[in-house]
Amino acid sequence: MTKTLKRGSIAVVGAAESDLGQVAQHTTPVDLMAQATMRALDDCGLTLKDVDGLFVAASQVRMGPMQLAEYLRIKPKVFDGTQIGGSSFMSHVAHAQAAIELGLCEVAVIAYGSTQRSVSRAAASPREFNPYESPYRPILPISAYAMAAARHMHQYGTTREHLAEVAVAARQWALMNPKAWEKEPLTIEQALNARMVSYPFTVRDCCLVVDGGGAIVLTSAARAKTLKKKPVYVLGVGETLSHANISSMPDLTVTGAAISGPQAFKMAGVTQKDVNMLSLYDAFTITPILFLEDLGFVPKGEGGRFVAGGTIAPGGKLAVNTSGGGLSYCHPGMYGLLVIIEAVRQVRGECGQRQVKGCDVALAHGNGGVMSSQCTVIFGSENTL
C-alpha cells in the first residue's frame, strides 16, 4: 500500500535570508540560522513558542537540530537533520509535509547557516577521504560537475559558450536583486576568459563562496490562511538519491531530477507549461542545463542550445534563477534553502524589479553532493488550489 502526500496540504508562510556575503569575524553558522529563523517568523507573525518542528542541515554543524534547538531553547516535537547536501531543504519540505499532515507537528522551521567565506571552503566542507578518488586530486565538487559538462559537450554538442550563457543570465538577474553579491555586469567573453579551474569550467562557471543562511516556516493550509502573508502552497514534492561519489554516477548527463521532477509534477497535477518560474540549483553552469532537460522543459541534449541567446536571462522566454542564483546572488555552500526562498517570493509577488508577472506556479529544484541527491518542490499561489 502506498500513501501519498496531499497537494496543497501545507504552505510556506514565512521566508527570510540571514545576513549574506561576508559576516563579522567569529560569527557562527548557528548565529545565522537563528537570525534567519527569527526573521522568517516575523515574516508570518509567529513566535518561537509556535515552533514544534525543526529541520536543520549545514556542512559546519554536524547535528544541526540539536544545535539550533539549544541556541533558541526550544523543544521541537519533530526534528530532522537529513543531510544530503544542497538539496536537503527540499527534502525537509517533503518530510515536514508528512509530519504536518499526520499531526505530529504544526509549525515547522527549516533553517541553514554557513560561514564558508569567512573560514574558507576547505574548512567549511572538508572532503571525506576516498581511496578510489582522492589520489587523483579532483577539486571536488567542481571537477565532478566539470566531467558532467565535458560528457554533455561530447555527447550533445554543448559548448563552453552555452555554459557562459548561464553565467551571464544569472548575472543579469543578480543586477536586479539588491541582496546579490555580484554588482558588476558580466559578458560571455569575460566568462570564457576567466581563470580556468577545472576544464571546461572557469571560475565564472562556478558558484560563489559566501557566508549566509536562511529559514522558512511551514504550517497546515488551514493555519496558513490566518497568518500575515499570502500562503505559498506546496503542490508537489519529489526526492531521490543516485550515488555519493562521481565515479559511481551511472550516466553523467542524466541526473535524478528525471525521477524527482515527475514525482513532483504528478503530485502537483500541473505540467511544465503551467510553471511560471524556475529556481534551479546552479552550483555550476552545467546544472541548470541538465535540470531543464531532466525536468522535462527541453528534450535531452538540447539544454545548451536552449539557453543560447538569453532565453533564461531577464526578458527571455523562461524565467530561471531570478535571484541571480548561486552563480551571482549567494552561495553559502548548501544553497538549496535560498533556491526555495526565491521561488516563494516570486509566488508572493515580492520580487520588485525582477518579479515574474502573474507567477502562480514556481518550481524549486535542489541538487546535493556531486549531482547525488535531487529534490523538487512545486509551489503554487491560492489561484492554483
Partner 1 sequence: MSDLMKQSPLGIYVGHLNKGELAYQVCMDDGKAFFYPRAVAPETGSSNIEWRVSKGLGTVYSTTVVHYKGEAPLNVALIDMDEGYRLMSRVEGIDAMDVKIGMRVKFKTHPGDEKNLPYPVFTPAGDAK
- Min dist CB 197 to partner 1, Å, is 6
Contacting partner 1 (CB under 8 A), which of 151, 179, 229, 305? 151
Contacting partner 1 (CB under 8 A), which of 34, 44, 150, 347? 150
Q: Tell me whether residue 115 or residue 240 sits nearer to partner 1 (CB atom).
A: 240
Q: Tell me whether residue 39 or residue 151 sits nearer to partner 1 (CB atom).
A: 151
Q: Tell me whether residue 146 or residue 267 sits nearer to partner 1 (CB atom).
A: 146
154 counts as binding partner 1 under rule CB under 8 A: yes
Contacting partner 1 (CB under 8 A), which of 102, 103, 122, 136? 136
Q: Which of 41-49, 63-71, 143-151, 350-358 is the region at the interface with partner 1 (rule: CB under 8 A)?
A: 143-151
Q: Which of 49-57, 95-103, 244-252, 262-270 is the region at the interface with partner 1 (rule: CB under 8 A)?
A: 244-252
Neighbours of 184 (CB within 10 A): 9
- Min dist CB 37 to partner 1, Å, is 38
Rounded CA separation 268/298 (Å): 20
137 counts as binding partner 1 under rule CB under 8 A: yes
Compute, in degrees rounded to 10, the torsion defined by CA atoms 320, 326, 332, 335: 40
How many H helices and E strands in the chain? 14, 11
Beta pairing partners, 10: 220
Contacting partner 1 (CB under 8 A), which of 35, 82, 143, 321? 143
Q: Which of residues 76-135 bind partner 1 (CB under 8 A)?
A: 131-135
Contacting partner 1 (CB under 8 A), which of 29, 64, 86, 138? 138
Say how many CA atoms lie within 13 Å of 348 toward its Cβ: 21
Query: How would you classify the pairing of strands 10-17 and 53-56?
Result: unpaired
Q: Tell me whether residue 170 or residue 246 sits nearer to partner 1 (CB atom).
A: 246
Q: Which of residues 175-234 bind partner 1 (CB under 8 A)?
A: 195-200
DSSP string, 248-317: G-S-TT--THHHHHHHHHHHHT--GGG--EEEE--SBTHHHHHHHHHTTSS-TT-HHHHHTTTTTSTTSS
User: What is residue 245's three-state secondary structure?
Assistant: coil
254 counts as binding partner 1 under rule CB under 8 A: no
Contacting partner 1 (CB under 8 A), which of 227, 252, 292, 337? 252
Using left for φ > 0, alpha for ψ between -120 and 50, and beta otherwise, residue 212 falls in: left
Q: Which of 150-158, 233-241, 335-343, 354-362 is the region at the interface with partner 1 (rule: CB under 8 A)?
A: 150-158
On whether the CB atoms of residues 226 and 13 are closer than 8 A, the answer is no
Rounded CA separation 287/268 (Å): 23
Q: Tell me whether residue 130 or residue 272 sits nearer to partner 1 (CB atom).
A: 130
- Min dist CB 119 to partner 1, Å, is 20
Helix (H) or strand (E) holding 196: strand 196-198
Residues contributing to the site for partner 1 (CB under 8 A): 131-139, 143, 146-148, 150-151, 154, 195-200, 245-248, 252
